[in-house]
Structure 1
Amino acid sequence: MKQDLNTAMMRNSTSNLPIRDKSFFQKISGFSLLEVLVSMAILGLLVTLLYSSFSQISRTSLSVEKSLRGREELRLLMKVVLDDLQAMQYLSRLVELNESESPGVQIDSFETGLIARLVEGPQGAESSSAIDFHAARRARFYPEWRQQDPRLHEIGYRMQESSETGRWELWRREDFYVDPDLFEGGRDYMLTDRVTGFLVELLEQEIELADGGTQENWVKDWDTQELVCERNTEDSNSFCLPRAIRLSMVLEDEDGQTLEESLTINLCVRPCKPEWFE
């Protein structure tokens, strides 16, 4: 009986509730399928544009970074070679090094100088330079002999093709001991395999023109042994070493882009250390 009473009370309370029409529920309906699809399409387009912009900026940044690394490597290589060339010396007769420079070392008389020639390179025959000379500087490849360093060494640069990779490599040779043979001896080190051009040009003479200017005569081959040169001569055109050297190098960066640089240095054509000469 109690259960019947509760049921009756619930029916009475339900019958007293207001009945809402269908228009009320229609007013609070959500987005349509078309609106959702359009919103998703717009959002996808914006995300695509943002990703493309970010990707382009990232690629540009990486490319610039690789180019800067290539430029830095090229300038470092140029500095190494130019420092050696700037220290080039012509020794007509070396009788004995100063005791403070190289204690107890005796060197027989010999002729010396610069030998530069065109050889095969990445661009074909006679497209690259090979140079050998004496330089008055500390050794780079003999740190274990630093205390006995005479600061006078044979140095050479050349390009050669690797038999393993097929790439052209720039090599530096340094001989701790000075001897009459400028082409052999010492230690060889590969500096880089990304240089595709190595050219050395030598200023042979400057010709005075009638109008008061000068004309420079640059050559790519030089052999001191074949020149008639005397260090004490009064002839301004008689030099055992070139008046200036122009070094041009081409390097390929990590992206395969070509980087080029060319610099010219003046040489000390007269003996830089007169105490070495007689």
Structure 2
Amino acid sequence: MNRGFTLLEVMISLAIMGMVMATVMETVDQTRSAVDAIHNVMETENTGPRILQTIRRDLEALAIYDAAEYKVFKGVNQTQMGAEADRIDLIVRKQGTVPVDLPTRNETVFAPFNEVGYRLRQNPLRPDFLELYRREDSLVDQDPFRDGTFTLVYDRIISLDIRYAEEPESQIVWLDSWDSYEREGLPYAIEIYLEIEIQPRRSLESLNILGANLARLEYTDVIHIPEETRWRFRNRIHPGLPGATDPNAQQVPGQDGAGTDGAPNALNGTTGSGADGASSIGFGG
């Protein structure tokens, strides 16, 4: 004799199915929250340090070879929208990132010396933020602090404050600007303060997971320029090209020999790297 399900059996089956579906949905939601939290933590730990590391690498490659009139480094104190938006320009001795065409040789190369700079402008799509751009120009000329190709580094900058210390002291006096041409020398240390805002995913759901809902973050890096490098630059004791020798060069104080200019690896301090970006725009001088 055939018989169907009773109402009680149907209700029990539906209840069991409902509990299974609720468990599955809760697991899916927790997984999504965990993925969002991991994304936010990765953004927190990577974005700011990458930006600072990009700036640090350029400062570590500061070129002091055959510097005409000491024009190799300039930091300008600026503000935009009521926030610090400092600008920095320098000449670096390292392979550039922008290719250069050589018509006479029909090939593309990367210049060993480049003009590099960092500056900010207001984000046209998000007016509450600033955009940080890296400038690079393979043609090092008499005005090394303007022109070039601008590449977007990050588009959600709150502020960028760069300060300079002239000498090592127990109570360091930080200066808001520095011009190697006017001072005929390099700073003892450079302090970079960076404030950014990341884009957290589902911050309310991930609130209790590793504090991953944080959006506004602050970073600080201090870069020290060794006295040997500063002394060489200040006294113009350096060859015109890497590896060349200067018969009239004086011996650096505290060194067994005159040595060579170690600009690319002369700086020490904390680490962290700069972000991705891929747009070019034009800035004024």
Q: Where on the TM-score scale, by shorter chain, does this alignment land: which range?
A: 0.5 to 0.7
Deviation at 1:30, TM superposition (A): 7.2
2:231 paired with 1:270: yes
Find the aligned partners of 1:270 and 1:224 in 2 and give their Cα distance.
13
2:154 paired with 1:154: no
2:216 paired with 1:258: yes
Q: How does 1:221-260 map to 2 (within 5 A)?
A: 221-227=177-183, 229=184, 240-255=185-200, 257-260=215-218
Code of the residue aligned with 1:142 in structure 2: it is P
Instruction: State the match for 1:133 in structure 2.
Output: 90
Deviation at 1:128, TM superposition (A): 1.9
The Cα RMSD (Å) is: 3.2
Instruction: State the match for 1:220 in structure 2.
Output: 176
> Relative to 1, partners in 2 of residues 1:43 and 1:226: Cα closer, same or farther, differing over 3 Å?
same
Report the 3-state secondary structure (helix = DSSP H, G, I; strand = E; otherwise coil) of the residue aligned with 1:88.
Answer: coil
2:77 paired with 1:115: no
Q: Is the 8 A contact 1:203 1:243 kept in 2?
A: yes
> Relative to 1, partners in 2 of residues 1:258 and 1:133: Cα closer, same or farther, differing over 3 Å?
same
Q: How does 1:33-112 map to 2 (within 5 A)?
A: 33-69=7-43, 71-90=45-64, 94=67, 109-112=68-71
Higher relative contact order (CA 8 A, sep 6+): 2
Find the aligned partners of 1:148 and 1:89 in 2 and give their Cα distance.
16
Code of the residue aligned with 2:53 in structure 1: it is K
Structure 1: 5+ residue stretches without partners: 1-24, 95-108, 208-213, 230-239
Q: What TM-score do the two structures reach when normalised by structure 2?
A: 0.63
Deviation at 1:126, TM superposition (A): 4.8
Percent identity between the aligned chains? 22
Find the aligned partners of 1:126 and 1:193 in 2 and give their Cα distance.
15
- Range with bigger deviation, 127-136 or 40-49: 40-49
2:152 paired with 1:178: no
Deviation at 1:164, TM superposition (A): 5.3
Find the aligned partners of 1:144 and 1:55 in 2 and give their Cα distance.
53
Instruction: State the match for 2:207 in structure 1.
Output: none
Deviation at 1:153, TM superposition (A): 2.6
Q: What TM-score do the two structures reach when normalised by structure 1?
A: 0.64
Report the 3-state secondary structure (helix = DSSP H, G, I; strand = E; otherwise coil) of the residue aligned with 1:242.
Answer: coil
CA deviations on 1:76-124 (whole Å, 9 max, x unpaired) are 3322211111122456x64xxxxxxxxxxxxxx5341422122234xx3
Deviation at 1:132, TM superposition (A): 1.3
Deviation at 1:53, TM superposition (A): 2.6
Report the 3-state secondary structure (helix = DSSP H, G, I; strand = E; otherwise coil) of the residue aligned with 1:241.
Answer: coil
Structure 2: 5+ residue stretches without partners: 103-107, 202-214, 241-245, 250-285
Find the aligned partners of 1:203 and 1:242 in 2 and give their Cα distance.
6
> Relative to 1, partners in 2 of residues 1:128 and 1:55: Cα closer, same or farther, differing over 3 Å?
same
Instruction: State the match for 2:282 in structure 1.
Output: none
User: Which one has the bigger helix percentage?
Assistant: 1
Which has the larger Rg? 1
